[in-house]
């Protein structure tokens, strides 16, 4: 019964190295990206609460350039996180990639930023994903997997 409550055992699926064939990694990257862009787009289609308190709904104008930009950004962020997860345990790689992509998509569709602001948002997302990978790879190279010291097996 206690193993259901205590998930810090060696079978913890949250922080495992994820080796496997390339097609599985590519499918994961595409799936996470589609999920993130889809959630961002869906959340931009409606507004909760009064207009002056909430994020604006989809601004008028072309949607496709922003969706393409965030799809490319999501693919890059998810690929970096998945590549790191193939070498060392990465905590919540899928959630991080999906949330960063969804937030960027939602903000872009609500305000339609200029190219410079969009580039800054993209750079922030990619920097966050890369820093997450670096932290995971550094702790993975030391043999410290999720705060647990492990043997060099």
Q: Which helix (H) or strand (E) holds 150?
A: none
Contacts of residue 146, Cβ cutoff 8 Å, sequence gap at least 6: 8, 12, 14, 15, 89, 91
Strand segments, DSSP code E, in the chain are: 144-145, 148-149
**Cβ–Cβ under 8 Å, residues 108 and 70:** yes
Distances from the Cα of 71 to the Cαs of 46, 100, 153, in angstroms?
Answer: 21, 11, 38
Classify residue 83: in a domain, yes or no.
yes
Classify residue 58: in a domain, yes or no.
yes
Classify residue 149: in a domain, yes or no.
no
Residue 54 Cα to chain centre, angstroms: 24
Classify residue 14: in a domain, yes or no.
no
Distance, CA of 29 to CA of 20 (rounded, Å): 13
- pLDDT confidence of residue 87: 86
The DSSP secondary-structure symbol of 83 reads H
Classify residue 7: in a domain, yes or no.
no
**Cβ–Cβ under 8 Å, residues 105 and 70:** yes
Name the residue range of residue 132's domain: 20-144
Domain count for the chain, please give it: 1
Per-residue pLDDT of the chain (153 residues; tens, 9 = 90+): 333 333 344 444 445 566 667 888 899 999 999 999 999 999 888 766 667 776 667 777 889 999 999 999 999 999 999 999 888 888 899 999 999 999 999 999 888 899 999 999 999 999 999 999 999 888 866 655 554 444 444
The DSSP secondary-structure symbol of 49 reads S
């Amino acid at each position: 019964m206690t193993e259901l409550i205590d998930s810090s055992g060696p079978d913890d699926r949250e922080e495992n190295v994820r080796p496997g064939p390339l097609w599985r990694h590519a499918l994961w990257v595409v799936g996470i990206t589609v999920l993130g862009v889809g959630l961002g787009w869906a959340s931009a289609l409606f507004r909760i609460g009064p207009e002056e308190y909430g994020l604006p709904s989809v601004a008028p104008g072309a949607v496709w350039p922003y969706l393409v930009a965030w799809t490319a950004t999501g693919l890059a962020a998810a690929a970096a996180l998945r590549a790191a997860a193939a070498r060392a345990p990465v905590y919540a790689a899928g959630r991080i990639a999906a949330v960063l992509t969804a937030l960027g998509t939602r903000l872009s569709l609500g305000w339609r930023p200029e190219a410079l602001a969009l580039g800054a948002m993209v750079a922030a997302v990619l920097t966050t994903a890369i820093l997450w990978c670096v932290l995971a790879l550094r702790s993975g190279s030391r043999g410290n997997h999720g705060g647990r010291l492990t043997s060099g097996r």
